[in-house]
């Protein structure tokens, strides 16, 4: 009898323990955002990257690649005094990896700078072409990175480094999917590229808006169609993010008709092979950047644009408008805090 009673108590104990695990409290949905300005200047900022110490690097016009020291609250232009004062270029793509900052400029010529921890600045890539225009940069690891831009020939421009950013080479159009007429990309938020492990997704836009996909860190490429609005120069995907290798989201629209919310939000659950329209004909309209909230099981998303900040807790099917304050780009520090940047400013965002 005592043996049977022991078994019964043991079963009851483990059953209760399993229920405790099952009843782990769910994360409360975000209902508001507190916005604290940390930078105000006459600089338009469309590219930011968070460092491992939660500092920030950012790219802007007026030859600005900036660094924000979060503890000291200080901003430094890493190029000041290191390049010619007569140089006046705009950076809309930055990355930070292995204590090193990278920034690539838009328009002709494209200039890619590598800035080391000790402040040394090296011009590691230059490209001269009347159509050159780089939109985004990202890294797979400390040695291997990628930047993408508009087509100069008959494919989207993609450059690769395999030596920590010291040298870069451009992938031949023979090794890339052929671009459609009018297919390009938008240098709106430095989020045209998404990386998970070795896998890479690139969002194009304009008259055609598709996904370029590589499973092997840019060695081979495929192309996938999307149902997002496209057909004219101002339409298509402006931003893409992947939570994991299967779940991804892209947003955009038409920045010249920012209130239109038709066919401007799409999601995938099969690694980008197929995409579906979500939140059709409901707000938000045009947004320039979308990011998954960390630790949200691919459910929570935040989108920003010059029309404000919006939030979804059901994988993008419905959205809540949190603020009318406009930003171009956002990057999360953790699941409640982010940096956001826009016209003449950077802010720290606390989601509650």
Query: Chain-wide mean pLDDT for the chain?
Result: 94
Percentage of the chain with pLDDT > 70? 93
pLDDT tens-digit series, residues 207-245:
999 999 999 999 999 999 999 999 999 999 999 999 999
Ramachandran area for residue 119 (φ above 0: left; ψ -120 to 50: alpha; else beta): left
Reported as a pLDDT band with limits 50, 70 and 90, residue 258 is: very high
Compute the CA torsion angle 210, 319, 135, 339 (nearest 10 deg). Answer: -150
> What is the domain-level CATH number for residue 253?
2.130.10.10
CA distance 342 to 115: 23
For residue 22, the model assigns a pLDDT of 45
Provide the residue range defining the domain that includes 274: 28-351
What are the b/e assignments for 51-71, b being 16+ CB within 10 Å? beeebbbbbbbebbbbbbebe
Contact assessment for residue 154 and residue 130, using Cβ atoms and an 8 Å cutoff: no
Task: Please give the structure tokens belonging to residue 281.
Answer: 């004909």
CA distance 34 to 349: 6
Average pLDDT over residues 81-107: 96
pLDDT tens-digit series, residues 40-69:
999 999 999 999 999 999 999 999 999 999
Beta bridge partners, 291, equal 302
Q: Report yes or no on 49 lying in a domain.
A: yes
Q: Report yes or no on 161 lying in a domain.
A: yes
Reported as a pLDDT band with limits 50, 70 and 90, residue 284 is: very high
In angstroms, the Cα distances linking 188 to 98, 165, 185, 345 are: 25, 23, 9, 15
For residue 26, the model assigns a pLDDT of 63
Average pLDDT over residues 167-183: 98
Reported as a pLDDT band with limits 50, 70 and 90, residue 28 is: confident
Is 60 exceeded by the pLDDT of residue 23?
no
pLDDT tens-digit series, residues 294-313:
999 999 999 999 999 999 99
Using DSSP, state whether 19 is helix, strand or coil: helix
Task: Please give the structure tokens belonging to residue 146.
Answer: 């990628």
Is 90 exceeded by the pLDDT of residue 163?
yes
Q: Report yes or no on 23 lying in a domain.
A: no
For residue 7, the model assigns a pLDDT of 42
Q: Report yes or no on 7 lying in a domain.
A: no
For 53-66, the DSSP string reads TS-EEEEETTTEEE
Q: Which of 91, 98, 220, 86 is nearest to 158 (CA)?
A: 220
Reported as a pLDDT band with limits 50, 70 and 90, residue 85 is: confident
Place of tokens 């603020």: 323
Q: Report yes or no on 14 lying in a domain.
A: no
In angstroms, the Cα distances linking 30 to 204, 300, 314, 333 are: 30, 9, 12, 16
Q: Report yes or no on 16 lying in a domain.
A: no
Q: Report yes or no on 13 lying in a domain.
A: no
Average pLDDT over residues 345-350: 98
In angstroms, the Cα distances linking 317 to 24, 77, 266, 267 are: 25, 40, 9, 9
CA distance 155 to 178: 5
Q: Report yes or no on 107 lying in a domain.
A: yes
Report the domain count for the chain: 1
Contact assessment for residue 113 and residue 124, using Cβ atoms and an 8 Å cutoff: yes
């Amino acid at each position: 009898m005592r043996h049977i009673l022991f078994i019964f108590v043991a079963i009851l104990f483990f059953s209760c323990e399993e229920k405790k695990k099952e009843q782990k409290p769910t994360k409360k949905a975000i209902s508001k955002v507190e916005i604290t300005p940390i930078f105000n200047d006459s600089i338009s900022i469309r590219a930011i990257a968070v460092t491992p110490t939660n500092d920030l690097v950012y790219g802007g016009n007026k030859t600005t690649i900036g660094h924000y020291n979060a503890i000291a609250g200080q901003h430094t232009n890493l190029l000041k005094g290191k390049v010619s004062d007569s140089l006046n270029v705009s950076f809309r793509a930055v990355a930070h990896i292995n204590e090193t900052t990278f920034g690539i400029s838009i328009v002709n010529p494209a200039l890619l700078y590598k800035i080391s921890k000790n402040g040394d600045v090296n011009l590691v890539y230059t490209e001269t072409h009347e159509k050159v225009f780089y939109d985004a940069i990202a890294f797979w690891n400390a040695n291997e990175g990628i930047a993408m831009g508009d087509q100069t020939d008959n494919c989207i421009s993609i450059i690769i480094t395999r030596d920590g950013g010291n040298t870069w080479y451009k992938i031949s159009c023979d090794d890339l999917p052929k671009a459609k007429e009018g297919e390009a990309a938008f240098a709106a938020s430095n989020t045209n590229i998404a990386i998970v492990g070795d896998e890479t997704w690139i969002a194009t836009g304009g008259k055609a808006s598709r996904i370029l996909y590589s499973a092997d860190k840019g060695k081979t490429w495929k192309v996938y169609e999307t149902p997002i609005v496209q057909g004219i120069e101002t339409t298509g995907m402006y931003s893409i993010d992947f939570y994991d290798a299967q779940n991804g989201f892209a947003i955009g629209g038409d920045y010249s008709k920012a209130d239109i919310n038709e066919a401007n939000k799409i999601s995938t659950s099969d690694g980008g092979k197929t995409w579906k329209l979500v939140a059709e004909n409901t707000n938000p309209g045009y947004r320039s950047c979308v990011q998954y909230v960390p630790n949200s099981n691919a459910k929570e998303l935040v989108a920003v644009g010059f029309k404000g900040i919006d939030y979804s807790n059901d994988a993008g099917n419905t959205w809540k408008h949190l603020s009318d304050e406009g930003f171009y780009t956002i990057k999360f520090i953790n699941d409640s805090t982010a940096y956001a940047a826009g016209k003449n400013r950077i802010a720290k965002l606390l989601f509650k």
